[in-house]
Amino acid sequence: MKQNLTFAVILLAMLFMINAIPLHKRKTEFLKCSDLFPAPLDVTAMTPDPIQAGKPVTFTISGNFTEHPITSDYHQDITFSQGFPYAAEFSQDICSDSSSRNIPKCPVTDYNKKMIIQAPADLPDNYTITVYVWNENDGSDWLGCTQASVG
Ligand X SMILES: *[C@@H]1O[C@H](CO)[C@@H](O)[C@H](O)[C@H]1NC(C)=O
Q: Which residues bind ligand X (CB under 6 A)?
A: 64, 66-67, 110, 124-126, 151
Smallest separation (angstroms) from ligand X to the CB of 137: 25
Nearer to ligand X, 9 or 23 (CB): 23
Nearer to ligand X, 44 or 91 (CB): 44
Non-local CB neighbours of 130 within 8 Å, separated by 6+ positions: 33, 77, 78, 79, 81, 145, 146, 147
In three-state secondary structure terms, 96 is: strand
Using the Cα atoms of residue 10, residue 15, residue 18 and residue 24 in order, give the sign of their dihedral.
negative
Nearer to ligand X, 35 or 67 (CB): 67
CA distance 31 to 101: 32
Nearer to ligand X, 110 or 122 (CB): 110
Smallest separation (angstroms) from ligand X to the CB of 23: 12
Smallest separation (angstroms) from ligand X to the CB of 40: 8
CA distance 77 to 84: 17
Smallest separation (angstroms) from ligand X to the CB of 118: 22
